[in-house]
Structure 1
Amino acid sequence: MSGTVRLVVVDDHPVVRDGLRGMLAGQPDLEVVGEAGDGREALAQVARLHPDVVLVDLRMPRLDGVGTIRALTRDHPGVRALVLTTYDEDQDILRALEAGAVGYLLKDTPREELFRAVRAAARGESVLAPSVTARLLGRLRNPLPDVPSDRELEVLALVARGLTNRAVARSLSISEATVKTHLVHVFGKLGVDDRTAAVTVALERGLLSLDR
């Protein structure tokens, strides 16, 4: 990778975006060409500006960081997604990396490390905060229970909105029996016995958002 690295900064807090823009502006080879307050706005910016790297937070309205990363990976495979967040829970890290993020940094990362990470991400290299690496290694040694699939979480999100199994089936164009099967799998993976507990645990673990 040579020349200037073009970035889009995505965070739902304007003060954070301003701070990152000011920090990155001091580097002659790094240029913030756009910013967004949520995932949908970010995807529109990427389609218009064609950046090299998208610096993205995880918890955002309308479309969260994982959903944004997944869409970037699918629709803009040449754009690198680099997570910059305050959240370092195992599930957050795994979901972001599985969605296609090339790196995962925390917001207390020293600025010089952030600059190096952005340049490395632009080259397609993986970049992980030390604490994130430690968490991943720890998870390999002590695996967590299975995580619900995207489809299972999609069903659970509709349940969280108060839909019956029949209404969920209609909404997703699947059979009511399939809805029940998905929910049984979700209960098993989350270690719960009913719909309310499943929604509660999924929200607590960050697997589900009420904005979803």
Structure 2
Amino acid sequence: MGNGKENSLTILIADDHHLVRQGLRSLIERSQTQYNISDVATGEQAWQFISQYQPDLAILDISMGDLSGLKVCEHVKRRKLRTRIIFLSMHDDVKVIHRAFEVGADAYLSKSEAFDTLNQALQTVAAGHSFISPNIESELARYRAATTQSLLTAREKQIVSYITQGKSNRQIADALCISIKTVDNHRTKAMRKLGVNKAAELVKYGLEEGLVV
């Protein structure tokens, strides 16, 4: 149920533990920001509420009955609803965290540090930015880097390393005894996999990942 405040940001809390929902509500209400808070116990209820009312923010647990928080987030992003999604979970598996952002999460927090970071996350996400708990940010960055590198073939990594050194397609082709067209194909595939559109971004990636011939 809502708290009756008007002209304030609306928040939905979805968690299958009553005490957790009440604790989060109490924690949020301590802030100086005015929020209109509602809460539900299952993923199904969360999706019904979001699809009907489109609150500004939804705080979701990962596991909530038959419809997980991840599925709820997928539905929200697929329908392009205005609600921004914050995951608050005991799951600290970096693969789960990575998956949460893959499906469109705007923030991810660990329940163990909610007291310190929840209100900061709410303000950050409400302002249109993403947020991740400081204690898992570096681990996620390492996982993403390793995952991205594993997507590139050995030849693609080799091409990127030459590009990082400032070599032209002609120079790379001569060094590897392949055609310029083949170099360009590998370069295009690598850029597509890495999600970059400019050579400068490819060079930046190569430098950050330490790719060398």
TM-score normalised by the chain length of structure 2: 0.62
Q: Which residue of 1 aligns with 2:108?
A: 104
Q: Which residue of 2 aligns with 1:52?
A: 56
Q: Which residue of 1 aligns with 2:155?
A: none
Task: Give the ranges of 4+ consecutive aligned residues of structure 1 lying more than 6 Å apart after TM superposition.
Answer: none
Secondary structure at the aligned position of 2:63 is classed as coil
Q: Which residue of 1 aligns with 2:74?
A: 70
Determine which of 104, 115, 137 is the counterpart of 2:119: 115
Asked if 2 retains the 8 angstrom alpha-carbon contact of 1:81 and 1:101, the reply is: yes
Asked if 2 retains the 8 angstrom alpha-carbon contact of 1:7 and 1:54, the reply is: yes
Tell me the distance in 2 between the aligned counterparts of 1:114 and 1:56. Answer: 12
**AA of the residue aligned to 1:127:** F
Q: Which residue of 2 aligns with 1:125?
A: 129
Tell me the distance in 2 between the aligned counterparts of 1:136 and 1:125. Answer: 18
Q: Which residue of 1 aligns with 2:169?
A: none
Secondary structure at the aligned position of 1:9 is classed as strand
Deviation at 1:77, TM superposition (A): 2.7
**AA of the residue aligned to 2:44:** R
Q: Which residue of 1 aligns with 2:47?
A: 43
Asked if 2 retains the 8 angstrom alpha-carbon contact of 1:70 and 1:100, the reply is: yes
Tell me the distance in 2 between the aligned counterparts of 1:80 and 1:53. Answer: 5
Unaligned runs of 5+ in 1: 147-212
Tell me the distance in 2 between the aligned counterparts of 1:70 and 1:4. Answer: 26
Deviation at 1:134, TM superposition (A): 1.4
Tell me the distance in 2 between the aligned counterparts of 1:111 and 1:41. Answer: 25
More displaced 10-residue stretch of structure 1: 12-21 or 71-80? 71-80
**AA of the residue aligned to 2:28:** L
**AA of the residue aligned to 2:115:** R
Asked if 1 retains the 8 angstrom alpha-carbon contact of 2:61 and 2:69, the reply is: yes
Q: Which residue of 2 aligns with 1:27?
A: 31
Q: Deviations over 1:31-64 (max 9, x none)?
A: 2432111111001112333310000010110100
Asked if 1 retains the 8 angstrom alpha-carbon contact of 2:8 and 2:36, the reply is: no
Deviation at 1:28, TM superposition (A): 4.0
Q: Which residue of 2 aligns with 1:169?
A: none
Q: Which residue of 1 aligns with 2:199?
A: none
**AA of the residue aligned to 1:89:** D
Larger radius of gyration: 2
Deviation at 1:121, TM superposition (A): 0.9
User: Cα–Cα, structure 1 residues 66 and 110, in superposed 2: closer, same or farther, change >3 Å?
Assistant: closer
Tell me the distance in 1 between the aligned counterparts of 2:80 and 2:22. Answer: 25
Tell me the distance in 2 between the aligned counterparts of 1:14 and 1:95. Answer: 26
Tell me the distance in 2 between the aligned counterparts of 1:110 and 1:37. Answer: 19
TM-score normalised by the chain length of structure 1: 0.62
Note the aligned Cα RMSD (angstroms).
2.0
